[in-house]
Structure 1
Amino acid sequence: MNLIEAIILAIVEGLTEFLPVSSTGHMIVVSSFFGIAHEDFTKLFTIVIQLGTIMSVIVLYFKRFFQSLDFYFKLLVAFIPAVILGLLFSDAIDGLLENPITVAVSLIIGGFFLLKVDDWFGNEEGTEISYMTALKIGFFQCLAMIPGVSRSGASIVGGMSQKLSRTVAAEFSFFLAVPTMLGATAKKSYDYYKAGFQLSQDEVNLLIIGNVVGFIVALIAIKSFINYLSKHGFKLFGYYRIIAGACILLIHFFIQKLTII
C-alpha cells in the first residue's frame, strides 16, 4: 500500500462509515481495484483507521457521550451480540471479506429494503431507548457482519423498528460504533501480531495518516448525514446501493469474461 492508496481508502472510510451504504463493502471494492485487498496490512489498515472515525463521534457528541452510567450500560448491552457472534463466526466473516460478489448482492438487497424503510417506520418519533431496545439494535447491527449490509444502516433501521425517530436511531448507531470499532480494532491487531507480523515505520505512518484523514472526513459526513436524514429519509441511499451493487456485478463479470477470452 502506498500513500495515495492509504489516503483514498481513508476518505472512503470517513465518508461511508456512518452512512447506510456499507463502509466495509466500499473498502473491499476500492482495495480490490488497487490490487491490495488480499494483503495482510490492508486488512489491518481498513479496521484500524476506524479509530479516527470513532474520534469524530466523540468530538461531535462530546457532552452527550460522557453522560450517565445508564447510557454506557445500554451501549454495552447493544454491543454484546456483536462480541458473541463475531467470536463464533470469525473465520466465516473473514472469508466473506474478500468477496466483491457478496458485497454487490448485499448492497442491492439492502438498497431495495431502504426504499421501503421510510414507509414502514418513518413516522415514528420515539426518543427513549430501553435496555431491551438496545439489545434488539445490537442484534440488528450483527447483520453487518455480512459485507455490504452496512453497520450503521442495520442499527439505524433496528432502532426505527423499535419506534425510535430517524435522528435518535442514527445517533445511537453512532454511539454504538465506538465500542464496536474499538473491539474490532483490538481483535484485528491481536490477530495480526499473533500471526507474527510486525509493522514497519512506513506502515505506522500510513496508519496515522489514515486515521487523521478518516477523522476529518467523518466529521463532515456525520453532520451532513444527520441533516439530510431528518429531512429526506433513506430513499437516496437505497437507489445508490442498488446502482453501486449493479455496477460491481457488471464490472466483475465483464472482467471475468475478458479473462476467459
Structure 2
Amino acid sequence: MDVVLLVKAAIMGVVEGLTEFLPISSTGHLILAGSLLGFDDAKAKVFDIAIQTGAIFAVILVYWQKIRSTLVALPTERQAQRFALNVFIGFLPAVVLGLLLGKAIKAHLFTPVVVASTFIIGGFIILWAERRPASATRVHSVDAMTPLDALKVGLVQCLAMIPGTSRSGSTIIGGMLLGLSRQAATDFSFFLAIPTLIGAGVYSLYKERALLSMADLPMFLTGLVFSFLSAWLCVRWLLRYISTHSFVPFAYYRIVFGVVVLVTAWTGWVQWAD
C-alpha cells in the first residue's frame, strides 16, 4: 500500500469537501492542489470527479428531512411534484452541454492560468451580485420557484464547466441575479448538486474504467471518506453563515487567490503544471 498516495488522496478529499459548496470552485482548487502534489495524471482527473460523490452524500445527510418528505409526498402532493420537476429541469442543461462540450473543455481549459483568471472574474461577479438592491429579490424559498426559474439556474450552472468558475458559485450567484434570495439560491444549488455530481461521477468512472483497477480502490475510498467528512462540516457551517452574512469575503478570496496564482506562474516562483 502506497502511504504517500493515500495521504495525497486524503488531502484532495479535504480540498474537494471544503470547496465543493462554497462559491470558490472545487475543480479549480483540485487542479491547483493536484499540480502542487504531483497528482495530476489521467487517473487523478477521474479521481477528482469521482470523489465529488462523497461530498454529495454530505448534502443528502444535511437535507435528508426535505428529501425524504418530498419522496413520500411525490405521488400525491402538487408542491412535491413541482419541486422534483424543478430539480430535473435544472439538471438537464448540464447533461446536454456536458456531453457535447465536456471533452473539448477538459482538453483545453483545465490549466492553472485559466483557473486563476476565472477565479478573478467570478470574484467581481459576486461583488456585483451582492451590491444589487434587496428589492430585486422575488423568490424567497425553493418551493416558490417556477420551472422557468429552475431552467435559468440550470443554464447558469453550465458555466461551471469552465474550471475555476465554481458550480455552487454559478448557481448561487446566478440564482441571486435571477431574483432568488440568498437562502433559496443556496438551497436549490445544493439540491441541484445531487443529480449533477452523482451523474458526473458515475459517468466518469464508467467512461474511464479502462484506467482503473482494484488496486485503486483504497485511494478512491480514502478520497470519498475525507470528501464526505469535510463537506458535511462545510455545508452545516455555510447554512449558518448565509443567514447573517453575504458572499463578499469569498469574492475577495477569489480575486486575491487568482492574482497570487497568476503572479507565481508568470514569475516562475511556482511551477504550475498544465
TM over 0.5: yes
1:50·1:214 contact (CA, 8 Å) conserved in 2? yes
User: Is 1:231 the equivalent of 2:234?
Assistant: no
User: Are 1:73 and 2:85 an aligned pair?
Assistant: yes
| Cα shift readout 1:28-75 (whole Å, capped 9, x = no counterpart) | 0000111221x1210111111111111111100101123023322211
Give me the identity figure in percent.
40
Deviates more, 1:95-104 or 1:169-178: 95-104
- Structure 2 residue corresponding to 1:107, chosen from 119, 130, 147: 119
Q: Distance in 2 between matches of 1:6 and 1:13?
A: 10
TM-score by length of 2: 0.88
The aligned runs of 1:1-261 (5 Å cut-off) are: 2-37=5-40, 39-66=41-68, 67=70, 68-96=80-108, 98-120=110-132, 122=134, 124=137, 126=139, 127=141, 128-193=144-209, 196-201=210-215, 203-255=216-268
Shift of 1:125: 5.8
- Answer whether contact 2:17 2:230 (CA < 8 A) is retained: yes
Is the contact made by 2:129 and 2:177 (CA closer than 8 Å) also made in structure 1? no
Q: In 2, are the aligned partners of 1:100 and 1:248 still within 8 Å (CA)?
A: yes
Distance 1:153 1:136 in 2: 14
Contact 2:102 2:161 in 1 (8 A): no
For residues 256 and 213 of structure 1, what CA distance do their matches in structure 2 show? 30
TM-superposed CA distance for 1:257, in Å, is 9.7
Provide the secondary structure at the position in 2 that maps to 1:18.
coil
Equivalent-residue separation in structure 2 for 1:35 and 1:55 (angstroms)? 27
Cα deviation, 1:2-51, whole Å, max 9, x if unaligned, reads 011111100000000000000000000000111221x1210111111111
Unaligned runs of 5+ in 2: 71-79
Q: Per-residue deviation at 1:129?
A: 0.9
Q: Determine if contact 1:28/1:97 at 8 Å carries over to the other structure.
A: no
Q: Which amino acid aligns with 1:12?
A: V
- Residue ranges of structure 1 left out of the alignment (5+ in a row): none
Classify 1:217/1:122 alpha carbon distance in 2 versus 1 (closer, same or farther; 3 Å).
Answer: farther
Is contact 1:122–1:166 with CA below 8 Å preserved after alignment? no
Which segment is superposed worse, 239-248 or 204-213? 204-213
Give the superposition deviation at 1:187. 1.7
Do the aligned partners of residues 59 and 112 (structure 1) sit closer, same or farther apart at CA in structure 2, a change above 3 Å counting? same
- How many residues align? The count is 255
* CA distance in 1: counterparts of 2:45 and 2:231, whole angstroms: 20
Provide, for residues 210-252 of structure 1, a one-character-per-residue CA deviation record: whole Å limited to 9, x for no partner.
1111111111111111222221211100000001101111111
Note closer, same or farther for the CA distance 1:257–1:143 as it changes in structure 2 (3 Å cut). Answer: closer
Distance in 2, matches of 1:141 and 1:42, equals: 24
Letter in 2 for 1:29: L
Q: Deviations over 1:69-92 (max 9, x none)?
A: 332221110011101111111222
The separation in 1 between residues aligned to 2:234 and 2:116, in whole angstroms, is: 23
Q: Scaled by the length of structure 1, what TM-score is found?
A: 0.92
Counterpart CA distance in 2 for 1:27 and 1:198 is 20
Given that 2:43 and 2:212 are in contact with CA atoms closer than 8 Å, whether structure 1 keeps it comes out as no
Cα distance in 2 between the residues matched to 1:121 and 1:34: 43
Shift of 1:110: 0.6
